[in-house]
Amino acid sequence: MMGIVLPACMFGLTLSIAAMLYRMFHSESSMADRVLLLDSLSFILIGIVAILSIWLNSTAFFEAILLIGIIAFTSTIALSRFIERGVVIVRDREHH
């Protein structure tokens, strides 16, 4: 049963990457849409690594899943702040 389900899930995730890339490069999407698409890409990559981990019956990929999640969260916050403010880190500090 798993010999059919895991390749089907991998194929579905591959199709979703193709759809995401099409939406990112071939349509008139805003900067916020592109940030959300990159965030979606990170979720898809986590899914692919998790399916690969199940397929190979290994727990060695859990650190990679955690690392992808941390980097995706940090990059989404940074890109959102850049879209909102124009800078990621504000250096001008007011002393009250």
pLDDT, tens digit (0-9, with 9 covering 90-100), for 34-73: 888 889 999 999 999 999 999 999 988 999 999 999 999 9
**Cα separation values, 28 from 22, 23, 34, 47, 65, Å:** 11, 8, 10, 27, 31
Which pLDDT score, from 0 to 100, does residue 95 have? Answer: 56
From 66, 60, 15, 58, select the one nearest 42 (Cα to Cα).
Answer: 66
pLDDT at 93 over 70: no
Fold adopted by 2-85:
Helix Hairpins (1.10.287)
Statement: residue 96 has pLDDT above 60: no
Whether residue 52 contacts residue 61, with contact meaning beta carbons closer than 8 Å, is answered with: yes
Whether this model's pTM surpasses 0.85: no
The more confidently predicted of residues 1 and 18 is: 18
- The one-letter code for the residue type at 85 is R
Instruction: Examine the pLDDT at 74 and tell me if it is beyond 80.
Output: yes
